[in-house]
Amino acid sequence: MGISDLILMRNCRSCELPGTLLCERCRRRVEDTVVPQRLFAGSLPVHCAVRYESTARSIVLAAKRTGAAECVAVMARLARVALADCLDDLAVDGRICVVPLHSGAKTRAAAGQDLVVAVLRQAMKGLPAPRGQVQIADVLQIRPNRLQQKVLNRQQRAGNVTGNIRASPRTRVQGLNAVIFDDVMTSGATLQAAARAVSARGGLVRAGVVVAYRPWICADLQGRRVSG
Ligand SMILES: [Zn+2]
């Protein structure tokens, strides 16, 4: 244990084991059991790696609050599973743009980076090849009150995000296949708003991809899970 470990009080965020923010056993428990889920946000198919609970939740929270590299790396590996599942499912020829839903200011300050973008960049690096041309399209402009989504109910959420997410006119998405990427899906309202914004610029939004979904809020979406 180094001096920085002592200062930061590094304990596994899931089981409290000292010396690391994420112990091997907890990391494995999450990564080895990933089966990508296909849910819906409205009519948008969404590919998710894990449920936002227990160890997976601890890892995401630690990444948001500290930007810890080991937790960001786990999120990236989970994101890669969901992204690969999405690309398999899409099977479109030509370019696919992955559009990140930027982290809010609070997370950016705590994690020292735009966590959603950092996770997506790492996830893309390890994508199994060949998958055609997949690239990140930094298109979305998000107003700050996106941060308060988690305290709102479903109806309030939908209203809150409408008009708060725009696609930049400077970045061309016209006629391009697009996938919206976020870290955690709550009601799906934010993904839907992002999809509308990209569609408004002529982008062809095919799906959403998230690391984790909140099962108690997305429960009614699970009934519409796509089989196979
Ligand atoms: Zn642990």
Q: What is the mean pLDDT of the chain?
A: 84
Ligand 1 center–CA 19 separation, angstroms: 10
| Alpha carbons 175 and 75: distance in angstroms, whole number | 30
Of the listed ranges 53-62, 84-93, 162-171, the one predicted with least confidence: 162-171
Fold annotation for 34-222: Rossmann fold (3.40.50)
pLDDT at 7: 47
Distance 71 CA to ligand 1 centre (A): 12
What is the pTM for the complete model shown? 0.85
CA distance 160 to 162: 6
Q: Please state the domain extents for the chain.
A: 34-222
What's the pLDDT tens digit per position in 171-206? 788 899 999 999 999 989 999 999 999 999 999 999
Q: How many CA atoms lie within 13 A of 25 on its CB side?
A: 7
| Ligand 1: centre distance to CA 24 (Å) | 7
What's the gap in Å between 13 CA and the centre of ligand 1? 7
pLDDT in the model for residue 228 = 33
CA neighbor of 120 nearest in space, from 226, 19, 210, 35: 210
Q: How far apart are CA 216 and CA 1, in angstroms?
A: 38
Starting from the edge strand earliest in sequence, which strands make up the sheet with 177-185, in order? Answer: 37-41, 44-51, 204-213, 177-185, 96-100, 134-136
Closest CA to 116 of 209, 192, 197: 209
Q: How far is the CA of 70 from the centre of ligand 1 (A)?
A: 12
Ligand 1 centroid to Cα of residue 66, in Å, is 17
Binned at pLDDT 50, 70 and 90, residue 226 comes out as very low
55 C-alpha to center of ligand 1: Å?
Answer: 8
Q: Which position has the higher pLDDT, 5 or 156? A: 156
Query: What pLDDT, in 10s, does the model give residues 83-137?
Result: 999 998 887 777 899 999 999 889 999 999 999 999 999 999 978 765 568 899 9
Higher pLDDT residue, 26 or 92?
Answer: 26
